[in-house]
């Protein structure tokens, strides 16, 4: 945790991070009958970051989209990376069951689970989004989660360019 207050300073290509995360999560997607659809801008500016942490963040988000967003009626997880106004925007979304509004403010709390039985069944620990939030904060970025029952979930991470 000593790194928590020190801004990361590696030059990181979030497009490369996203491509690696898609490779990492492909076996899980295959087991769940889920297709991952990447849309990665080829001309992204780099961000000042910690490559390992940004990969962990992206792996967590894509795995969540597959675990909780792919089911009998929805079989696609999407990941996009694009530049916008001095930021690189990473967005991961699904068309799954979604999350009720009352749970959204607590999703980044350690060990918080919307449905603990389903989380255990799918291999969740209740730490993924808490870790994501910590990594985003260390990178001086922002995190937004949008979801509604029956409409899926979209997580947007914005990291300043280097």
**Antiparallel, parallel or unpaired: β 47-49 and 87-94:** unpaired
pTM (2 decimals)? Answer: 0.87
Q: For helices 14-32 and 51-69, give the axis angle rounded to 10 degrees.
A: 30
Checking if the pLDDT of 71 tops 50, the result is: yes
Task: Map out the domains of the chain with their CATH numbers.
Answer: 2-160 (3.30.565.10)
Average pLDDT over residues 23-28: 97
- Tokens encoding 83: 């530049």
Residues with Cβ within 8 Å of residue 60, at least 6 apart in sequence: 128, 129, 131, 132
């Amino acid at each position: 945790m000593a790194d928590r207050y020190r801004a990361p300073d590696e030059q990181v290509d979030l497009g490369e991070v996203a491509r690696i995360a898609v490779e990492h999560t492909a076996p899980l997607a295959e087991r769940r009958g889920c297709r991952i659809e990447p849309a990665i801008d080829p001309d992204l500016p780099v961000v000042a970051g910690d490559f390992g942490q940004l990969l962990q963040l992206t792996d967590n988000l894509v795995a969540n989209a597959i675990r909780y967003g792919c089911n009998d009626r929805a079989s696609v997880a999407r990941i996009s990376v694009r530049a916008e106004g001095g930021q690189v925007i990473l967005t991961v979304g699904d068309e799954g069951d979604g999350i009720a509004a009352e749970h959204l403010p607590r999703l980044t709390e350690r060990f918080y689970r919307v449905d603990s039985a389903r989380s255990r069944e799918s291999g969740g620990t209740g730490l993924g989004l808490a870790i994501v939030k910590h990594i985003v904060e260390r990178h001086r970025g922002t995190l937004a989660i949008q979801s509604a029952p029956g409409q899926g979930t979209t997580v947007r991470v914005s990291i300043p360019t280097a």
